[in-house]
Amino acid sequence: MTTTERPLRVILIAGSNRRQYNCPGVDSKSRALMLRMADRLPGHWDVDIEDLGNVYGRARIQSCNGCVSTSMALCVWPCNCYERDNKDEPDLMWDLDMYARLDAADAWAFIAPVNWYGPTSNLKLLFDRLVCANGGNPREDTIDHKNPEKAMAFDKTPEWKQLTRNHLEGRTAAFFSYGDGGGDEIGADGRPRLLRHPEYFDPAEEVKDDRDAYKPLVWQCRYGGIEVPDALWSHAYVGEGKPYSEMQSEDAARDPSFLAAFDGWAAQFVTHVEAKGRVEPGEYRAVGYKAPGHGFQDLKLKWRELRMSIGRAPEGSSPREQADQGLNRDATFHPDRSARDALDRK
């Protein structure tokens, strides 16, 4: 089905870490709001939803390994640091097929709380893993799956300049965050009540606009050509001055001002996305992507690892130069141990 023939597609993502099927024992407000929004979207839209809350025994989104800091060409689109149904490093990003679902959508809506002046850890993990969408290498065969030396050489070639691009550019992202301003933990002086050293906490220097908690994710989107209109970046307070036990989804559902703020944001999302219409996908799709085999390449990378373990990294490589200069002290057969061991190798 062509772009003009298919329905307009959106994905709504609840970004709270809470689920009732783990130790919190209660579902998040993010989930309730996501479902509320999904129920009210136009019937002719193709609506996808996902809850990133932690479920006991289910995989989590693995953290980004930072391949891009070695070479942009080493950062493969979609991410090949992990893979679907892997028992050694289970990854929810792949198990839920999030790359393809984000690629398939014309617009994304993220709903999540503010945690410690910033986004939730699960949403931050998701966005960290989207670094490959911003210029990532769509052809891992050019670097033998994951060869750092080949990638560092390849990113200086004319061929690389033709390959690198923003793979999800053109889409729209919307953010609705909410918070409680510290609930009942904040005293009359604006400081947390439990402080034994109140001089460490100056209320005048505290972040005042909790909307800014999601600024890093908003600007990551914009950096990669994903539109985030200011009107679709919103924050609302709920449960201020109350204990956390009294600000559950059922409590928020009885707060008309909070619901009005959320519904207003959702309505603006509908208006904007409907007017903008469908987005043409990029050349290299995550939709329908089948990861190539890499058994032989893995063997070669294992040989590279063994050489590094004895302090004989490939000649001319960055690990070799670091070892020769005594910068990393990382020749070991036990890389899983604490970095404190490096002090013994001084």
Per-residue pLDDT, 76: 98
Model confidence at 280, in pLDDT bands (50, 70, 90)?
Answer: very high
| Nearest 10 degrees: Cα torsion 47, 52, 54, 56 | 40
Segment 228-238 mean pLDDT: 97
User: Which pLDDT value is given to residue 344?
Assistant: 72
Question: DSSP readout, 123-145?
Answer: HHHHHHTTGGGBT-BS-GGGGTT
Report pLDDT digits (tens) over 88-109: 999 999 999 999 999 999 999 9
Q: Give the full edge-to-edge strand order of the sheet including 9-14.
A: 46-51, 9-14, 107-113, 172-179, 233-237
Q: What's the rounded Cα separation, in Å, for the pair 106 and 178?
A: 24
Type and span of the H or E element at 275:
helix 256-276
Average pLDDT, the chain: 95
Distance, CA of 38 to CA of 30 (rounded, Å): 12
The first and second tokens of residue 207, run together, are 């972040």
Residue 346: predicted pLDDT: 60
Residues above pLDDT 70, as percent of the chain: 99
CB atoms within 10 A of CB 280: 10
Nearest to 228 by CA among 256, 269, 288, 281: 269
Model's pTM, two decimal places?
A: 0.94
Q: Cite the beta strand spans of 138-274 per DSSP E.
A: 172-179, 233-237
Q: Which of residues 295 and 124 earns the better pLDDT score?
A: 124
Q: Tell me how far CA of residue 190 lies from CA of 182, 199, 207, 209, in angstroms.
A: 10, 12, 12, 15
Read off the tokens for 139: 């052809």
Segments of the chain assigned E as strands: 9-14, 46-51, 107-113, 172-179, 233-237
Token output for 259: 């619901």
pLDDT of residue 341: 80
For residue 345, the model assigns a pLDDT of 61
Tens digits of residue pLDDT in 54-83: 999 999 999 999 999 999 999 999 999 999
Q: What is the mean pLDDT of residues 241-247?
A: 93
pLDDT band at 247; cut points 50, 70, 90 = very high
Higher pLDDT pick, 246 / 346: 246
> What pLDDT band is residue 340 in, cutting at 50, 70 and 90?
confident
Q: Which residue has the higher pLDDT, 219 or 341?
A: 219
Residue 71's pLDDT is what?
A: 97
Structural domain boundaries in the chain:
9-290, 294-346
Checking if the pLDDT of 214 tops 70, the result is: yes
> What pLDDT was estimated at residue 342?
77
How does residue 4 score in pLDDT terms, banded at 50, 70 and 90? Answer: confident
Q: What is the DSSP string of 248-261?
A: SHHHHTT-HHHHHH
- Sign of the CA dihedral running 277, 280, 286, 288: positive
Please, which pLDDT band fits residue 175 given cuts at 50, 70 and 90? very high
Residue 187 pLDDT > 80, yes or no? yes
Of 156, 149, 69, nearest to 316 (Cα)? 149
CATH of domain 9-290: 3.40.50.360
Q: Report, as an integer, the average pLDDT of 147-163.
A: 96
The Cα 182–Cα 141 span in angstroms is 50
